[in-house]
């Protein structure tokens, strides 16, 4: 099968795009082979064709149909393994302990064990297709919780959970209370809050026509998926990010140098879906940085583009109205 796949790739390299897409359309039917490992191998070949420029449309439905039972079966065997794991000591490796139990459980659950192994092949083409197709991500989003059940023990679970948590065309509200600047926007394809932070620094309104960029264009392009997946640049944040629940009665944010509650912080290590919603929008409040935060310039998925599209900037009066409603709602929490 590997030799046949290599012959196919060699032929595709000398073919027209129409011929390559025709080959992909023929191959996708075999993703549903009774043997999930062989079907997953075919999906891997199809994913490579998509990464080389083939249209993913024909691959979306059969790939998602195959993914669902594999994730469900893998979640079942993971639950059994976790239930049988002994209490771990502080210096024990949870992944190593899980692997030992898995080897004992696998003979008892052969179908689930084969699904687990098949995911080792299937997750890569799935990421390739979901990266370029918001509709494919939306259609498989219900599988998010199955991926979450195995993410600590299976590479597929880790990456699929991240991909399936991506929000598309998500309405957001961003306000800087100190300056009373704000904007309504929509985000698409943002995987993690490191990436969101860069997009905010590049997009949020700046004062004055000669105001300097907060991040270089090359850094912003990496976050948007327009440049390489990573560069040697180090990004330094300019704000603390807060949820709407951080707003105080005076419509300001807590003193960043104080020792207040950090539960209202939006952590860079988190994801946009973690950000609470207020009146139909995920709200991000921008405050002065409490300490210097720096991170490498990269994006998680190479082929997944990200957009932070501004709908409109808010007037100072509109910003104040939003903050007043948040402060009122916070008092009732």
Q: What is the pLDDT of residue 69?
A: 94
What contacts 195, CB < 8 A, 6 or more positions away? 223, 299, 300, 306
Nearest to 147 by CA among 174, 176, 116: 116
SS3 53: coil
pLDDT digit of tens for each residue in the chain (333 aa)?
Answer: 889 999 999 999 899 999 999 999 999 999 999 999 999 999 999 999 988 888 999 999 999 999 999 999 999 999 999 999 988 888 888 889 999 999 999 999 999 999 999 999 999 999 999 999 999 999 999 999 999 999 999 999 999 999 999 999 999 999 999 999 999 999 999 999 999 999 999 999 887 666 788 999 999 999 999 989 999 999 999 999 999 999 999 999 988 776 556 789 999 999 999 999 999 999 999 999 888 889 999 999 999 999 999 999 999 999 999 999 999 999 988
DSSP classification of residue 190: B
The pTM score is 0.89
Q: How far apart are the first and last CA of the chain?
A: 60
DSSP classification of residue 226: S
Q: How many CB atoms lie within 10 A of CB 13?
A: 9
**Domain boundaries along the sequence of the chain:** 2-164, 170-331
Q: What is the pLDDT of residue 258?
A: 63
Contact 175, 182 (CB under 8 A): yes
């Amino acid at each position: 099968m590997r030799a046949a796949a290599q012959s196919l790739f060699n032929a595709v390299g000398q073919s027209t795009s129409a011929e390559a897409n025709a080959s992909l359309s023929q191959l996708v039917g075999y993703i549903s082979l009774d043997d999930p490992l062989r079907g997953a191998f075919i999906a891997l070949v199809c994913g490579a064709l998509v990464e080389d420029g083939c249209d993913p449309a024909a691959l979306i439905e059969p790939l998602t149909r195959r993914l669902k039972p594999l994730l469900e079966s893998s979640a079942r065997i993971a639950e059994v393994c976790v239930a049988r794991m002994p209490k771990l000591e502080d210096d024990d490796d949870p992944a190593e302990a899980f692997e030992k139990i898995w080897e004992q459980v696998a003979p008892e659950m052969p179908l689930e064990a084969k699904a687990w192994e098949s995911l080792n092949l299937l997750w890569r083409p799935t990421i390739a297709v979901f990266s370029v197709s918001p509709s494919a991500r939306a259609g498989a989003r219900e599988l998010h919780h199955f991926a979450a059940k195995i993410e600590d023990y299976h590479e597929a679970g880790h990456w699929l959970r991240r991909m399936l948590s991506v929000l598309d065309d998500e309405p957001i509200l961003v306000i800087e209370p100190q300056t009373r600047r704000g904007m309504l926007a929509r985000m698409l394809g943002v995987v993690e809050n490191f990436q969101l932070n860069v997009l905010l620094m590049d997009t949020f309104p700046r004062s004055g026509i000669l105001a300097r960029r907060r991040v270089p264009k090359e850094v912003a392009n990496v976050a948007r998926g327009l440049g390489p997946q990573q560069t040697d640049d180090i990004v330094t944040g300019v704000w603390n990010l807060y949820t709407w629940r951080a707003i105080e009665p005076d419509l300001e944010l807590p003193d960043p140098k104080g020792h207040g509650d950090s539960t209202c912080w939006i952590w860079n290590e988190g994801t946009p879906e973690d950000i609470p919603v207020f009146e139909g929008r995920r709200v991000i409040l921008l405050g002065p940085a409490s300490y210097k935060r720096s991170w490498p310039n990269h994006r998680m998925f190479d082929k997944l583009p990200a957009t932070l599209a501004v709908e409109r900037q808010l007037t100072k009066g509109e910003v104040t109205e939003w903050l007043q409603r948040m402060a009122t709602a916070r008092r009732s929490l």
